[in-house]
Every structure is written in structure tokens, then in C-alpha cells.
Amino acid sequence: MNLIGIRRKEIRLNNAITEWLKGDHTEKQIVLMISFMVGLCTGLTAFVLKSLIEEIKHLLTSGFVAEDTNLLYLVFPAVGILISMLFVRYIVRGDISHGVTKILYAMSRGRSRIKSHNRWSSVIASAITIGFGGSVGAEAPIVLTGAAWGSDFGKRFHLPPKTLMLLVGCGAAGAVSGVFKAPIAGLVFVLEVLMLDLSFSSLLPLLVTSITSVCVSYAFYGTSPQFDFSLNKAFTIDIIPGCILLGVACGLVSLYFTRAMNWFEGVFGRIKKKRYKFLLGATVLGVLIYFFPVMYGEGYDVINQLINEAPERDIMHNTLFYDNDRNLLIYLGLVLIFKVFATTATNGGGGCGGVFAPSLFLGCIAGFIFANLWDMGFDLMLGDSCYLSPKNCGLYGMAGLMSGVMHAPLTGIFLIAELTGGYDLFVPLMIVSAVSYLTINIFEPHSIYAMRLARRGQLITHNKDNAILTVLSLKSLIEKDYKAVEADMPLGKLVSTISKSHRNIFPVIDASGRLQGVVSLDSVRLYMFRPELYRQYTAGTFMKEPPAVLMVNDSLKTVAQKFEETGAWNLPVVDENHIYLGFISRSGLFTSYRETLIKFSQE
């Protein structure tokens, strides 16, 4: 009883705070206040997540001797996945994987409504997974957490779907800004990966959230970039050919990463029982981390070592290669090949994490390997002036992989510049990012986040026409004032029904409500004024198949295509059991389209 009383008081307090904040403020002012609060929450959440990961990792691995292999690398990842799995199953009781994909889906189908538990569940699950060695990143979970904060505040203030979508974007921007101390990258990430279209005034809430979140990070970690980096070779025009080829290489590595991940996810998808998924994921991940400890966790320490020219033996710690520095490129090449399987095994086995950090990790390795091969081979033909700095190319590769895997070249450019303070390298970062994006775009039109939704026609894009059709809800357009009839209804009763209706189409349903066909007024018109026929004919006599039938889960883009193909003005809607729900009219669809287009174009 006390718990119930406490809960009621909490609800009353929350309602009082909400009403106080609303006050006499306009919606724009409320959105700015919410964007500030979202920035605070995401910044603090990012700090908590990073601290938890570091504490767990330090607790488990601080006693390891670098010169020796350690069998605990086989055990820790499995324990982390198991704990995360049990946490999700028995405490969360929901799905929290594929954070960015879930946000895209929520924006396109769920009207930007994200479950409130994602404010904390993704943080705990990903901290356990990564701290115990899961080879994934914390960024996608924290982006989902930030989006959940934005969605929750928006729902609390009963804001319309368009504003709710903006607040979800604010949460994502604040998450990227806070976890990387990169406010520009956070803003650009939302523009490139999440948002369909933004007016000028929409940028202000995004800026407020990004700035607030990064200031929270500054308060805890200081204002220095996340990675220590000192430039020892400035950009010169002679390295442009090398940058172009590195961009192509990054695009191909991104393609391999994307295709291999999709294939391995398919393997897990065909396994029905979760315990078998866990066994496969834990086994693959444990074996890979045992032989390649650099795959343990996010891998940011390896990035720091590569871009700061650390001794080779420090990178190959706890491996059989430890005392053989000549094998560094072979070792990193194997990591480049197998990292995707470690990442997929982590999530497929029941862990929680994203591909943000793996993209940066592999990009740094790809750039480092490319520069070394270039300097050993091409430099002999092109001269010393074409020397590529391996540490610089590590940064270029990070931008290139992010551009290719996420189809976000601007995010890659600004994120790497902000992560390292390497603003003097903007030109090569731009070259590698652009070429990588163009290379993978030949083979994959969508990012690794978006391709699952794109296959189902549920993807929000920067194409405003497609985006509006995606955002519109089919359920909200269903017209239910059509009078239904049954096939055995006598003509006389059908005429009586017609006289009471203002529609000229009548759905024919069976006793369980399933749609059988439609009767049009035109087909009955010649018989309506002949009472002697009222008992001779039934509604089934005049019933015809509709030109097409719409499913309640169809996207509005699919609906528009069916109207275009059939030339019909009205089409019936049924659910997955073929139960009749109503009609969609062509005029109603395009009226809603125009109204939404006006809203998108305002301000």
C-alpha cells in the first residue's frame, strides 16, 4: 500500500512539474526547454555508461599480464552476454537491440514513440555486454537512450508527431555529442542518418541539446579531444592519389563489413531457440577474443595506440604474436577480417551494442594497413613526397568506414576532426569520406541501419515526397462510414441500405467480418426501382472483386502505388486475418498528403 501511495505522489509531482513548465509558453518555447533537459539527461547518461564500461573492464582485466595469453578471454564475453540476455528477458521484457534501426522504425511507423524503458535499459545491457568483452559499441544504445528521453518528454507534454520526431532527433544528437564530445558531429548525424527534412527553426533545438550534452561531458572529462593526436605530417597535394585509393579501399571494406554482418545475422535469424543463439554467439566471440584481444570491448585503446605510434607489442598484448613485431600487419589484417563476426556474434548471441565503435575501429586499422602497404610499394615508384603517414591514415580510414557503413560522409568528417582535434586534415578526410561513400553506393543504396527498413518500405528518407507518405499513418486515413452488407442479403434490403447511405460502394462481408467483395451503386441502379425483383436477387448477385485490397500494415507509399496502378478512387482495407476495417479514398489520401506537406514546409 505504501508503494502505491508513493507511486501516486510521484505521478502527481510529475504532472505538477509538467503543468508548471507549460505555463503560458508557446510550443516553440516548450520545445527549447525540453531540448535543454534532453541535453542534460543524455549527457549524464553518456557519462554513466562510459564509466560503467570502464569500471567493469578494469575490474575484470587489470590483472592480466601482457606477455601471456589468458583463458579468461574465452569466459568473460559469454558471461556478459548471458547476464545481458537474462536482464533483457526477465527485467526489461522487451527488445532493445539495433538502437538506430529502432529509432528509424519508431519515426516511420510508431509516430516517434519509443518505449520509456529505453532510457535506462540500453545503458545497463550495453555496459554489461561491452564491459565483459562484447565486441560492439556503446554509441547505438546511447543514441536509443537519448531518443527515448526526447520521446518521453514529448509524450509528457502531448506534443504533435512532427515535434515528437524533432525531439527524438534532439536526443540522438545529444547522445553522439555527449559520448564523443563532438557537438557538430551529433547535429550532422541526425541530419544524415535520422531526419527526413528540417526547417531552419528546427536546428535551434538540436543545437541546444548538442551544446548542453557536450558541456556535461566537458564538466566530467575536460575539454580536450577524446583521442590524443599530434600532427607530424601536414596535408600536401602529393598524397591526393593515395587518399583516393584509400577511399576506394574503405568503401570496399565497408561493403565487406555490411554484407558479412547481414549474412551472419541471417545465420542467427534461422536459429529459433535463444539458448542455441547464445551458445553460437558466445563460442564465436570467446574464441576470437582469445586469439585477438584487441577485439575486447569497443577497441578505443587500440585506436589511441595506432594514431600515436605505440610499440607494436603493446597492440598485440596477450597474444601468441606478442614478441614478433614483424607480424603486426598480418595480425591487424586478420582482425580486419574477423571483427565483423565478433560484432555480429555479440548481438546475435543476446548482447547489446552497435556498430559505431566497430566502424571506427576497423577504419583505423584499414587506414593503418593501407598506409604501410603504400609506403612499402607505391612509394618506391612515386617518390618520397608521396609518403602516407600511418597515423594520419588511421584517421582517414575512420572517416571512410563511417562514411561507407553508415552512408554518412559528413558525420565521418566532423566526428573524426572533433574526436582528435585534427582540423588541419579536413581536405584528406573529405576526399576519403566522399570516395568511400561513392564506392559503396554502387553496391548498397542504404546504410547498415536503414537497409532492413528499406526492404520493407518503412524507411524515412531525405526525399520529401517518399518521407511524407511514410510518416502518414494508414490507420488515421481509414473511412469507416461505409455500410457493410452480406452476400445473402435480399435485393430489397440492399436497396433500403443504399437509401440510408451517402456512399456508392458497399463492402460485402461474411458472418466473421471477412471481406468477400464489394457492391457498387452503379451495378444495382437498374434494379432498384423494380420491386418485383427484390426477392429474386441478393447482394451476392452484384458483388465483384475490388481492384485491389489494402493491408492495414501497408505503407502509404504502397497505398499510393496501388491507387496509381488500379485507377480506383476507393480501396478496401483489411487486417492480417482479412477482416474488413474500412476504405481508403484517393481524395482523402492526397488531402492528408497536402496538409502534411504544408506542415513540413512551414517556418
Q: Do domains 27-221 and 237-257+287-334+351-462 have the same CATH topology?
A: yes
Phi and psi at 547, nearest 5°, equal -55, -30
Q: Is there a contact between 533 and 527 (Cβ–Cβ < 8 Å)? A: yes
* Residue 378: partners with Cβ closer than 8 Å, 6 or more residues away: 242, 386
The dotted CATH code for 466-601 is: 3.10.580.10
Rounded CA-CA distance 197/202 in Å is 9
| Cell numbers describing residue 462 | 531525405
Rounded average pLDDT over 496-503: 87
Task: Assign 1 a pLDDT band (cuts: 50, 70, 90).
Answer: very low
- Say what the pLDDT of residue 366 is: 96
Mean predicted lDDT score pLDDT of the chain: 83
Rounded average pLDDT over 236-249: 91
| Cell numbers describing residue 35 | 531540448
CATH topology assigned to domain 27-221: Clc chloride channel (1.10.3080)
Q: Is there a contact between 506 and 518 (Cβ–Cβ < 8 Å)? A: yes
* Residue 145: partners with Cβ closer than 8 Å, 6 or more residues away: 42, 45, 49, 118, 119, 120, 122, 123, 171, 175
What are the residue boundaries of the structural domains of the chain, listed by start? 27-221, 237-257+287-334+351-462, 466-601
> Considering the domain 237-257+287-334+351-462, what is its CATH architecture?
Orthogonal Bundle (1.10)
For the segment 4-54, what is each residue's pLDDT rounded down to a tens digit?
555 555 555 455 555 555 556 677 788 888 999 999 999 999 999 999 999
- Say what the pLDDT of residue 476 is: 75
For the segment 267-298, what is each residue's pLDDT rounded down to a tens digit?
998 998 989 999 999 999 999 999 998 999 89
Task: Assign 603 a pLDDT band (cuts: 50, 70, 90).
Answer: very low
